[in-house]
Chains A and B, each alone.
Chain A
Amino acid sequence: MEITFALPKGRLLKESVKFLLKCQIDAEETLKESRKLVFRKGGFKFLLVKPMDVPTYVYYGAADVGIAGKDVIEEKGYELYEPLDLGFGKCRLSVAEPVNIEEPYDLEKLSSIRVATKYPKTTDSYFRSKGIHPEIIVLYGSVELAPLVGLSDRIVDLVQTGTTLRENGLREVDVILNSTARLVVNRASLKTKYGKIKPIIEKMKEVIANQR
């Protein structure tokens, strides 16, 4: 029985491949420039998908396991096993606003907030849990642009170093979620391919422990 991995294109891919290699899983071919989206090697199948889609592929069983950021897992909210924090891909899902905003961010004073984000669900539940009514503008990229052109007062986006924010005259004012890359596993896969998947998790655990 072949085990299928869903790997996130972009930011997390390189480190995911590096990590898998340490676990004796060779996914290096996915790093080569090509339009191919499916790769096979050593009894594994690798699917290269958009980061936001990793939980979806795994939840519906199109992939048995996947690597996804905690931010994406929370946003999708699927029922999945997420056994391991892989430690890499550290970033925060944060609220940011223009440096020169008239009324700076203050959770105590806000009753409503207008934010642009790629993470509508997480943003919505965060503000509503604080009793603040969020008006959410969903964007699919260049979220930093929104406050600059008056589309929204603030944004909720991933922050790694803060450089992009600074370059766009924004500052981080609140952290909604700390994120790292996680291993996610389909529930049915773990139960029905237990003999194959459990050893993978064990090996990964060992690698993580050695990294500390």
Chain B
Amino acid sequence: MRLSEIPEGFKTLLPKEVKEREKLVGKLKDVVERWGYEPILPPTIEFLGLFKAVDERFEELSFKLIDRKTGRLLAVRPDFTPQVARIVSSSFKDDEPPFRFYYAGSVFREWGGSRELSQFGFELIGVKEVEADAEVIAVIANILSELKVKNFQIDIGHSQFLEGALKELSLADREEVVKLLNQKDFSGIEFYCEERGIEGERREKLLKLLELYGKEEVLFKAGELFKNELSQKALSELLSVYRILKSYGFEENVIFDLSEKRGMDYHKGITYEVFHPLLGSSLGIGGRYDELLKKFSRELPATGITLNLDSLAELLEKKGYSQDLDKKDFYIIDLKEDKTIAYLLAKELRSRGYKTARDILKRDYESSVEIAFKKGFKFVVVLNREESPRNLIYTSPESSFPVVGDPLKGVLSLLEGKR
């Protein structure tokens, strides 16, 4: 094994990316804090049982270790939401809801692709009315407009609508049907019906169920098709959410999909997923999980969403949004053996709040100048040249001005002159 080898699915962020990421998280925090959400930081490791209790899939998905103190299995956090639920039901058991929490950090999953996912999420716990779902969606819309992302779509579904529809159709091999519906496999559904002799109205309804995605008219079509109580209740919830979102002016950014089952097992009720045309995968996913807190003996309705920060960063990069986040101010090249002047100048500039770095590599200074501009420095100062003028300040690789007299004073006066 070479020491430079790294395991599959884990990556390093380099300075530019880290800065952009921090800035991005900073913006997200600003927005959710304005909506009254408070930070929470759950531990990286918990008992596996916590996660397994809410969704069996976490047993396979989690990185596991054995707790030497208890002999029980531990999981490296595969999901934040169950942790937040646990914390609310223990640390806040005497507090009055609602609770609004947000978090930022990594979740780890044993699967193909990225095994460390960088997430930002927020949860609204204790409100059963659809206003809570509308709030979460509105916060997302708020975040995206703050990031100047316009063409996003929030895809809204409802697990209980689908549940009701599937029960009404009383289909065998439920899991297979859910898979076919999730893949929007029209031909697959036709074949499924043919194989099992499903005909007439049941077949028609199942095929129409697959088509229940699109703008708000989908809600009315769905209401005509599935009259069972569970589905009807779900539809009236969706309609109320839609009305609220419309009053916020987001109706253009909302699309419905009633035939897909999304999210984790604990998501029961309205679910939402965020898409953008420039990105092949979703930016985030979330929804209602009213049943989840019950597992921790605290019956509280809840809803929330997690954004995938890697996807969000990729989108922002594609849109060229992040470019000026990375500007650095001064790069100082001192050609003399004794670098005292460069040191003092850098110190002075830093104390005035300028981001300043020094060239400490030995190479010809023209290429240093070029590299400095490539790395995003705004100015390059060259000190102690052999020819005259001795000191120069570059404002681009091509243009420079002489710095007269004391370098610091010269640089500062040039800066003021430029402004």
Residues of chain A at the chain B interface (Cβ within 8 Å): 1, 58-62, 80-85, 182, 185-194, 198, 201, 205, 208
B279 at the interface (CB under 8 A from A): yes
Q: Which listed residue (A81, A188, A194) contacts B281, Cβ 8 A? A: A188
B282 at the interface (CB under 8 A from A): yes
Pair B214/A61 contact, Cβ less than 8 Å: no
B187 at the interface (CB under 8 A from A): yes
Chain B min CB distance to A196 (Å) = 10
Pair B183/A85 contact, Cβ less than 8 Å: no
Chain A min CB distance to B171 (Å) = 19
Q: Which of B146-191 contact A (CB under 8 A)?
A: 151-153, 155, 183-188, 191
Pair A61/B280 contact, Cβ less than 8 Å: yes
Q: Which 10 A-B pairs have the closest CB atoms?
A: A61-B280, A85-B187, A192-B277, A81-B184, A188-B275, A191-B275, A60-B280, A83-B184, A192-B153, A83-B186
User: In this complex, what residue of A is CB-closest to B155?
Assistant: A191
Chain A min CB distance to B111 (Å) = 11
B276 at the interface (CB under 8 A from A): yes
Total number of B residues with any Cβ neighbor in A under 8 Å: 24
User: In this complex, what residue of B is CB-closest to A189?
Assistant: B277
Chain A min CB distance to B217 (Å) = 12
Q: Which of B153, B184, B188, B281 has the most CB of A within 10 A?
A: B184
Q: A191-B255, A194-B214, A198-B214 are in contact. Are A186 and B184 (CB under 8 A)?
A: no
Q: A192-B277, A194-B255 are in contact. Are A187 and B282 (CB under 8 A)?
A: yes
Q: Which listed residue (A59, A81, A193) contacts B277, Cβ 8 A? A: A193
Residues of chain B at the chain A interface (Cβ within 8 Å): 151-153, 155, 183-188, 191, 213-214, 255, 257, 273, 275-282
Chain A min CB distance to B77 (Å) = 23
Q: Which listed residue (A61, A84, A193, A194) contacts B186, Cβ 8 A? A: A84
- What residues on A are CB-neighbors of B187 within 8 Å? 83-85, 182, 208
Pair B276/A83 contact, Cβ less than 8 Å: no
- What residues on A are CB-neighbors of B257 within 8 Å? 191
- What residues on B are CB-neighbors of A198 within 8 Å? 214
- What residues on B are CB-neighbors of A186 within 8 Å? 280
A84-B187, A187-B275 given. 5 additional CB < 8 A pairs? Answer: A83-B187, A85-B191, A185-B184, A191-B275, A192-B276
Chain A min CB distance to B259 (Å) = 11
Pair B280/A188 contact, Cβ less than 8 Å: yes
Q: A191-B255, A192-B276, A198-B214 are in contact. Are A82 and B183 (CB under 8 A)?
A: yes
Q: A59-B280, A188-B279 are in contact. Are A82 and B153 (CB under 8 A)?
A: no
Q: Which listed residue (B183, B214, B279, B282) contacts A80, Cβ 8 A? A: B183
- What residues on A are CB-neighbors of B282 within 8 Å? 187-188
Pair A82/B185 contact, Cβ less than 8 Å: yes
- What residues on B are CB-neighbors of A80 within 8 Å? 183
A30 and B272 CA atoms in complex are apart in Å by 39
